Amino acid sequence: MIKNLFIKYPENTLFLIALSGGIDSVVLLFQLLKWKKKYKKINIRAIHINHNLNKNSKRAEEYCSKICKKHQIPLIITDIPKQTKYLDGPEQYFRNKRYKIFKKFLLKNEILLTAHHLNDQCENIFLSFKRRRGISGLSGIKFSNIIHNVHVVRPLLNYNKKQIISWAKKKKLKWIEDKTNKDITYDRNFIRYKILNTLDVHWPYFLKNCAISIEILSKEREVLDFLIKKYLLNNMFIDGRLYILKFKNILNHLQYSLLKLWLFHESKIFPNFNILYRIKNEIIPQDDKKNKKIIFHQYIIYKYHFSLYCIEHKKDIKKNNLIWKNLFFPIKLPENLGFLIGLKKHKHGNKIPYPKTNEIVSVNFQTCNNIYLNNKKTKKKNKKYMAKKQNSTLV
């Protein structure tokens, strides 16, 4: 069942399996154990993330611990605190938390293995319709991709649920049934039990045809992405901002595709249509004086001087006050903002008076309409002051 994993990654020997204790991940684990007998160099670790959703959560954790101990598989056990409110829904919340945990525990050159299968593919198609996704959502889950800098491979993706259950029963495997998987208040479960089961009875070939359609869409998406990337590379600066001066001259639907690819490039998160619509109709048309911003997960999107910016939201540092005692040495700024370098003569940067000998420089992170110069009571306007030409420069 997982032969493709070793064909596509013959040099990889480190694998971390996401083990929930359910039938899919248990089958994947025992498939790995089967192949480990053939390929002795394979190193398998497992990670179990307790979502604390019900009483079965503890049972699943104990079962994962039991089978890993029996087969001498190193196991990482951690959990996700349960919330009362979810900004983007519980499924998205848990997904984001899981990948942060995976990233934390993955070793160098280790591949994360998840037990997604063909039924999951079809469920995602319907979820994409519900979320107003375009070709990116409809082209399905990939066998392998990078999510939040985590290399994920899904060895069971070409097998349906019936095949997985059949193999588990044949090998007399045990697993834990998650009661939340029966709760149709969750979108995925509603699709699984109310839609796909009905379609499978009426059209037994539906899942197979669904997989073929996904493959076709995936190839068409690759062609489209290639063409859009060419335009994107010609209109994107090295710092990631998108130049939009000629944006209105291109086709309307192409604008959405460019925004989607640009936003994914900067955030590694696929935006929904609502976010793209707001950027196109609220951010791009405005002038710089309005300074309207859109929050997209942990990122801030705004426009300035014919460019769109997608900046990761940093902690509030307005109250920070750094003392720069010696300008011969660069000073490091907080929140990975870089360094300040003091130069007497330089063609770049804002021109302000170079400090006198032994004069201490204070670095603040909030500007207003007025600033004080040399501790004097008189105020000068920022714009007028910064426009004055000086012989010395602080970069």
Q: Is 140 annotated as a binding residue?
A: no
Q: Is 22 annotated as a binding residue?
A: yes
Q: Is 23 annotated as a binding residue?
A: yes
Q: Is 137 annotated as a binding residue?
A: no
Q: Is 25 annotated as a binding residue?
A: yes
CA distance 114 to 285: 43
Q: Is 21 annotated as a binding residue?
A: yes
Residue positions forming the annotated binding site for ATP: 20-25
Residue positions forming the annotated binding site: 20-25
